[in-house]
């Protein structure tokens, strides 16, 4: 009888939270849908798609629109079916049997998860209690352990902390390893290395349309790297990885610079409001730590994480429970006010 192999036999399919909630603050998404004017442009564009034809393998129009938005060379950009696809693709193609990969911890769990599917040895560099990355110690570990690939999110999901552009540069210049900076949340901060990526032989930066750009439904991620690396990524990806609908709509969405800038300000404001409100609540508690964040969510440590998570669910608000931590996405101003009110009621009760 056929038996599943050891690396997959105990895996379970990814299960997002089920049920219907009034307020969803669990997935770091954008709180509201794209406006009607943009969706009207989508409808028009979808009508013109040649559905009988395969998509453009290089997603050229989408890549040009993305590159123009970030003011970078489109030759350095590869589009993916979400960054999730790119993480798996690059880990599996750029690593060989016996190679060593390093993740930091805590961080986005998929980096480590995919390494086990690729049968690559993966070590963890632990962050201290401040949850900051000690970049000098990280450099020392990468070099001492002869790491081939180091990958982490900057800003970090779930901590909301980030390393500065100067620190990121120092890391890339000081190691022989390939460095992947996942800048999924960098649209909310200022320390991107995107404009310099072409100057390094060992750097790949990921971006996504799922956060600030508010298009998680389209599944669009981007890998940006020098032309040699970009060519290799394009060569190993499946030819038609980004479907024609997502290519067409993504092209439109990255042309909405003014709208995206406005939304960025709104989300950063709401994140500040969430952080300040949480800090006020934590000040009156012995066991609650609220971490400052440069992303669109706030990370909280509390002995009562599960009880708070259950209580919020009972008020139709869902946040992310991660052991003794909660990660709360900055929603609309009303949603932030609701979650703060509910938390205030919880601690009073």
Q: Which residues would be at the binding site for ligand PMP (CB under 6 A)?
A: 28, 82-84, 108, 153, 157, 182, 184, 208, 210, 216, 221
Q: List CB contacts of 51: < 8 A, sequence separation 6 or more.
A: 244
Residue with Cβ nearer ligand PMP (26 or 277): 26
Closest contact distance (angstroms) between CB of 28 and ligand PMP is 6
Nearest to 262 by CA among 159, 341, 187, 178: 187
Comparing every residue's Cβ against ligand PMP, the nearest one is 82
Closest contact distance (angstroms) between CB of 224 and ligand PMP is 13
> CA-to-CA distance for 205 and 63, rounded, in angstroms?
15
How many helices and strands in the chain, by DSSP H and E? 11, 12
Closest contact distance (angstroms) between CB of 31 and ligand PMP is 15
Residues 82, 219 contacting (CB under 8 angstroms): yes
Residue with Cβ nearer ligand PMP (153 or 305): 153
Residue with Cβ nearer ligand PMP (52 or 190): 190
Closest contact distance (angstroms) between CB of 185 and ligand PMP is 7
DSSP element (H, E) containing 42: helix 36-47
> CA-to-CA distance for 35 and 37, rounded, in angstroms?
6
> CA-to-CA distance for 297 and 255, rounded, in angstroms?
25
Residue with Cβ nearer ligand PMP (209 or 288): 209
Q: Both tokens of residue 30? A: 């954008």
Residue with Cβ nearer ligand PMP (82 or 162): 82
Residue with Cβ nearer ligand PMP (180 or 274): 180
Residues 41, 223 contacting (CB under 8 angstroms): no
Sign of the Cα torsion 303, 307, 313, 314 reads negative
Closest contact distance (angstroms) between CB of 348 and ligand PMP is 33
DSSP 218: G
Closest contact distance (angstroms) between CB of 111 and ligand PMP is 8
């Amino acid at each position: 009888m056929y038996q599943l192999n050891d690396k997959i036999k105990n895996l379970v399919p990814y299960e997002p939270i089920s049920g219907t909630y009034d307020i969803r603050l669990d997935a770091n998404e954008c709180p509201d849908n794209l406006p009607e004017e943009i969706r009207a442009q989508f409808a028009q564009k979808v009508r013109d798609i040649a559905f009988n034809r395969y998509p453009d393998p290089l997603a050229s129009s989408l890549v040009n629109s993305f590159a123009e938005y970030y003011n970078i060379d489109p030759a350095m950009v590869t589009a993916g079916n979400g960054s999730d696809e790119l993480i798996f693709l690059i880990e599996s193609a750029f690593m060989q049997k016996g190679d060593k990969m390093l993740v930091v911890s805590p961080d986005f769990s998929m980096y480590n998860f995919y390494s086990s599917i690729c049968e690559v040895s993966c070590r963890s560099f632990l962050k201290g209690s401040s949850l900051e990355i000690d970049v000098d110690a990280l450099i020392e570990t990468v070099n001492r352990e002869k790491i081939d690939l180091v990958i982490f999110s900057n800003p970090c999901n779930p901590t909301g902390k980030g390393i500065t552009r100067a620190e990121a540069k120092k890391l890339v210049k000081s190691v022989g390893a390939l460095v992947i900076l996942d800048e999924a949340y960098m649209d909310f901060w200022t320390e991107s290395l995107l404009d310099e990526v072409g100057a390094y032989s060992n750097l790949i930066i990921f971006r996504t349309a799922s956060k600030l750009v508010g298009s998680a439904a389209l599944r669009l991620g981007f890998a940006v790297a020098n032309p040699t690396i970009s060519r290799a990524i394009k060569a190993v990806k499946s030819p038609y990885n980004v479907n024609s609908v997502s290519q067409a709509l993504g092209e439109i969405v990255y042309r909405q610079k003014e709208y995206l800038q406005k939304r960025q300000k709104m989300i950063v404001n709401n994140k500040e409001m969430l952080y300040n409100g949480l800090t006020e609540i934590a000040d009156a508690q012995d066991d609650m730590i609220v971490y400052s964040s440069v992303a669109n969510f706030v990370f909280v440590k509390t002995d009562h994480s599960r009880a708070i998570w259950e209580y919020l669910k009972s008020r139709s608000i869902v946040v992310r429970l991660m052991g003794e931590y909660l990660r709360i996405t900055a929603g609309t101003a009303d949603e932030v006010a609701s979650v703060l009110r509910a938390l205030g009621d919880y601690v009073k009760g």
